[in-house]
C-alpha cells in the first residue's frame, strides 16, 4: 500500500514529475492513465518525450487518477 505524502511542488515541472512517479508506483500504463483521465495516450507520450508541455487543466485531470489532491493553504 502506498503511504500518503505531502508534496510541495514549486513549478509545473515538479507537478509532472510527481505524477510520473505516482504512475510508476501504481503500475499504471500510459494507456490506463490516459483512459482514466480523459486525455489521449499521444498527449501523455508527447509530455514524457518533452515535445509538449501540459496545460494546467490537463495536468489537473491526472491528479485523481494517481491519487493526488490539491490543498490550498492561505496565509493571513
Residue 4's closest CA among 67, 48, 50?
A: 67
Tell me, yes or no, whether 67 lies in a domain.
no
Tell me how many domains the chain contains. 1
Residue 11: per-residue pLDDT: 74
Tell me, yes or no, whether 6 lies in a domain.
no
The domain spanning residue 19 has which CATH number? 1.10.260
Tell me, yes or no, whether 34 lies in a domain.
yes
Tell me, yes or no, whether 50 lies in a domain.
yes
Reported pTM: 0.77
Tell me, yes or no, whether 22 lies in a domain.
yes
Residues 46 and 16 sit within 8 Å (Cβ to Cβ): no
* Structural domain containing residue 55: 12-62
Tell me, yes or no, whether 41 lies in a domain.
yes
Residues 46 and 9 sit within 8 Å (Cβ to Cβ): no
Tell me, yes or no, whether 24 lies in a domain.
yes
- In this predicted model, what pLDDT tens digit does every residue of 35-63 receive, in sequence order? 999 999 999 999 989 898 888 888 889 98
Half-sphere exposure of 3 (CA within 13 A, CB side): 3
Amino acid at each position: 500500500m502506498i503511504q500518503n505524502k505531502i508534496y510541495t511542488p514549486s513549478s509545473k515541472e515538479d507537478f509532472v514529475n510527481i505524477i510520473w512517479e505516482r504512475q510508476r508506483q501504481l503500475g499504471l500504463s500510459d494507456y490506463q492513465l490516459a483512459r482514466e483521465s480523459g486525455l489521449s495516450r499521444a498527449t501523455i507520450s508527447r509530455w514524457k518525450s518533452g515535445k509538449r508541455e501540459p496545460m494546467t487543466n490537463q495536468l489537473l485531470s491526472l491528479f485523481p487518477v494517481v491519487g493526488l489532491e490539491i490543498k490550498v493553504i492561505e496565509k493571513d
